[in-house]
Amino acid sequence: MMTTAVTDALPRDRALRRAFSVYPTGVVALAAHVEDRAVGMAVNSFTSISLEPALVAVSAARTSKTWPVLRAVPELGMSVLAAHHEPLSRSLSAREGDRFGGHAWHRSEGGAVLIDDAALWLTCRLHSTFDGGDHEIALYEIQDVTLFDGVEPLVFHQSRYRAISPAGDV
């Protein structure tokens, strides 16, 4: 197998984006009900941190206009998007317009917005935030978990949406 090094020819920020894109991630909708409307954004920087206490981490660009609104809510919904949610992921990533684009969602009693037909729902409360350079890293304490068995997640890899396929017997 032949490999080609391309990072030296690219500006550092583009080289890093390309390097980070090698690692496949899921896509998570962060959403809440704020002032009588759903507010949300898509992130792929989401990871489990701790079982006790139950913590997850997300990061959001400091340039985001949506993130400060979501960071301030008492309860945030996190929905791991399903494979068929690519259009929703694209609309949640848009800077303007109806981010939910007619996709079905519901609101928890605490104001978390959860996407229907997702692979996983988490309702969370902000635990702490940290400086992450041009991003803010936020730890959230999980209040409630709903897992939907058999729902394939949406995957983002090398700047494209992908489907999961079995690698064979392991």
Pick from 2-11, 113-122, 155-164 the range whose average pLDDT is largest: 113-122
pLDDT 10s digits, 62-103? 999 999 999 999 999 999 999 999 999 999 998 887 899 889
pLDDT, residue 43, reads 96
pLDDT at 169 over 80: no
- CA-CA-CA-CA torsion sign (160, 77, 65, 47): negative
pLDDT 10s digits, 15-61? 877 877 777 889 999 999 999 999 999 999 999 999 999 999 999 99
Residue labelled with tokens 């990533």: 93
Residue labelled with tokens 């969602």: 105
Angle, alpha carbons 40-159-48 (nearest 5°): 55
The DSSP code for 8 is G
pLDDT, residue 109, reads 94
Residue 93 near residue 126 (C-beta atoms within 8 A)? no
- Please tell me the distance from the alpha carbon of residue 71 to that of residue 67, in angstroms, as a whole number: 6
pLDDT, residue 19, reads 77
Main-chain dihedrals φ then ψ at residue 92, nearest 5 degrees: -70, -20
Domains of the chain and CATH, by start: 25-158 (2.30.110.10)
Helix residue ranges, H only, 35-129: 67-71, 86-92
The DSSP code for 154 is P
